[in-house]
Structure 1
């Protein structure tokens, strides 16, 4: 049963039966047989399969959550018995926003891997939300609130979104003194999975105040958004975590600070398994500590 559960999780993680087979050294037929056996055992379809893709069913999601919990507990027990309580080893899969990941998270991972040579890291840098259970991800670093109430969250810092531009852009186009002035400016917009971020929110006289912005440039990559701003192509809305160094060095200048919205939290989000492998807990704690100490 444990082997079949591992096969099922690998199918989810790799996105298909053939890819799971290559990962596990099994033929596609063998992978399919193990999946069928698992579905017969639970009396439910765990995956919806088409010629182009697979997706996890509600029953499959429940099985995946339980499988990760059971396998984590078994792995934790084996690690303690075989290697002692101080040994940290094995794979960790995580996801983080592009800018924050490259500038803040990757250096932490490099230090962590240097200290724990038996750990492997699989990092997915994306500005879109990742289905942690469906894709077999141990945890995600995310800004703001998380829409999936089935996930657990650990606050690791405070986040503030701000509007900024390069000194060159502001010299050429002027500094906006009120959110309404953004309608006359070139605004570089971020495209998320739910759509284009073309409505920027502020507070005016203590009340929420939204402004619809426009511009020539939009992208789904936060690093590119910042690069365009640094090159003087317009104003952008960024997390303070992403532009701290640029603000300090004068490469970007914050505008409309008096109208900024409230701060939000920076979270680590993870599936609600009762037991996480020690390596995962250790990395979560390291990221939280290093981000808060500025390392």
Structure 2
């Protein structure tokens, strides 16, 4: 059986978008990466990539080789992980990333209990309001409010949460209650936006009736939790997941508005690479994350 190094290099060339980026990612000289690719194409007797000064494109043979190589590498890494973990209890570092509010409210308490139950495992939890590159940044698990679209990744459904539009009773008393999305143009909208703009997009309606509305914010922040604090101060309306504001709704500091226009719920997933599907510590973490009594509570739509 041939060495898998050439497979790994080819997969990284495609994944990173070019020879130079793949060489930097792998810590190799670009001449080495180029030579391995040329040697691979000579051995196979066909071109796998068509390269120009601006882009590279997979040939039909290249697409086949990429799919087969990915499957082989995934199986190899999974096999090695299973072998290692048959002789060792789950341990070592587990790198997890999640959106800031989800991580603080939902995940951090779970992680504390997980570490108490499994003291040989260490967890580094990164909370950021951006879409992380799981593979490129070296994360074991990422929590996302969207399903898997990358063929290199796999996901496990965690929970479903309603999205609600909320404001303080004081704000409603001063400005009235919006009835339809068009009314928002006359209200102060509080948005989370990482682009430095005071605008956002909110969804309203369900299923085929779902519509996306652009709202111009009176206050905006790259920190996704600040709009909730501003809403509590009576500064305007904001759209959030129920678990972000349920305590404030329960104590009456916030109220829901435009309930008839509530959008489809958001589903959160635990994402990991396919190659780590057989990792004991990753399976243990995600398994307990969804376990009743240990994991994250599920909300009905």
TM-score, normalised relative to structure 1: 0.72
Tell me which residue corresponds to 1:278. Answer: 280
Give the superposition deviation at 1:124: 1.8
Instruction: Assess, with a 3 A threshold, how the Cα gap between structure 1 residues 167 and 17 changes in structure 2: closer, same or farther.
Output: farther
Verify: 1:292 aligned to 2:297, yes or no.
yes
Does structure 1 retain, via aligned residues, the 8 Å contact 2:181–2:213?
yes
Tell me which residue corresponds to 2:84. Answer: 78
Give the superposition deviation at 1:106: 0.5
Match of 1:137 among 136, 139, 146: 139
Cα distance between partner residues in 2 of 1:129 and 1:193: 13
Partner SS for 1:113? helix
Match of 1:91 among 90, 93, 96: 93
Give the superposition deviation at 1:112: 0.5
* CA displacement, residues 178-202 of structure 1 (integer Å, 9 cap, x when unaligned): 2221111110112257987623222
Cα distance between partner residues in 1 of 2:190 and 2:96: 28
Match of 1:201 among 196, 200, 203: 203
Partner SS for 1:215? strand
Verify: 1:173 aligned to 2:178, yes or no.
no
Instruction: Assess, with a 3 A threshold, how the Cα gap between structure 1 residues 64 and 208 changes in structure 2: closer, same or farther.
Output: closer
Instruction: Assess, with a 3 A threshold, how the Cα gap between structure 1 residues 75 and 212 changes in structure 2: closer, same or farther.
Output: closer
Instruction: Assess, with a 3 A threshold, how the Cα gap between structure 1 residues 38 and 245 changes in structure 2: closer, same or farther.
Output: farther
Does structure 2 retain, via aligned residues, the 8 Å contact 1:129–1:193?
no
Does structure 1 retain, via aligned residues, the 8 Å contact 2:78–2:278?
yes
- Stretches of structure 2 that go unaligned for 5 or more consecutive residues are 42-61
Does structure 1 retain, via aligned residues, the 8 Å contact 2:94–2:282?
yes
Partner SS for 2:84? helix
Cα distance between partner residues in 1 of 2:226 and 2:71: 35
Cα distance between partner residues in 1 of 2:33 and 2:103: 39
Give the superposition deviation at 1:168: 2.6
Cα distance between partner residues in 2 of 1:38 and 1:98: 41
Instruction: Assess, with a 3 A threshold, how the Cα gap between structure 1 residues 226 and 78 changes in structure 2: closer, same or farther.
Output: same
Aligned residues, how many?
260
Does structure 2 retain, via aligned residues, the 8 Å contact 1:162–1:238?
yes
Cα distance between partner residues in 2 of 1:128 and 1:155: 20
Give the superposition deviation at 1:66: 6.8
Tell me which residue corresponds to 1:156. Answer: 158
RMSD (CA atoms) = 3.9
Tell me which residue corresponds to 2:267. Answer: 265
Cα distance between partner residues in 1 of 2:276 and 2:181: 46
Tell me which residue corresponds to 2:223. Answer: 221
